Amino acid sequence: MIIFGVAFLALCTLIGIFVGELLGKLIGVPANVGGVGIAMVLLILVGSYLKNRGLFKAETEQGVKFWSAVYIPIVVAMAAQQNVYGALSGGPMAILAGVAAVALAFALVPVLDRIGRKKPEAEPVAAAKPATSSARG
């Protein structure tokens, strides 16, 4: 059902926000560090895993697709809340964190591509050729 897709997306979002807040506390930043990104990576990885196992039905996927249509405006609104000037005036650590995040994202592209590829199915066994009797005359 579609509601399961929305619930799956909400669960990934809650886990991502929790992990982002935890990361922020661990590095001493009083903010969520990458919670939305973590949620989206989790959504992709777990969604692909469930889909490959046949546990992610088409109706459930419609709930995720609905929210993916509004994802970009949500990210733009979240980015508008960020204090870019404060981050840049924070010094080289902010720039290093940004560069590291982009480098990690680029490094994960082949991994996600490999996960997303469908495994080749074994070729069907050719039917045994019927024995032909040769009649010599």
Map out the domains of the chain as residue ranges.
Answer: 1-81, 82-112
Predicted local distance difference test score (pLDDT) of residue 75: 67
Chain centre distance of CA 30: 26
Predicted local distance difference test score (pLDDT) of residue 94: 74
Helices and strands (DSSP H and E) totals, the chain: 6, 0
The rounded distance, in Å, linking the Cα atoms of 48 and 110 is 15
Predicted local distance difference test score (pLDDT) of residue 52: 85
With a cut of 70, list the residues of the chain below it in pLDDT: 1, 71-72, 75-88, 118-137
Reported as a single tens digit per residue, the pLDDT across 9-48 is 889 889 988 998 999 899 888 888 888 888 888 888 888 8
How distant, in Å, are the alpha carbons of 36, 57, 64, 99, 136 from that of 79? 11, 33, 22, 17, 85
Predicted local distance difference test score (pLDDT) of residue 93: 79
126: left (phi over 0), alpha (psi -120 to 50) or beta: beta
The rounded distance, in Å, linking the Cα atoms of 1 and 127 is 40
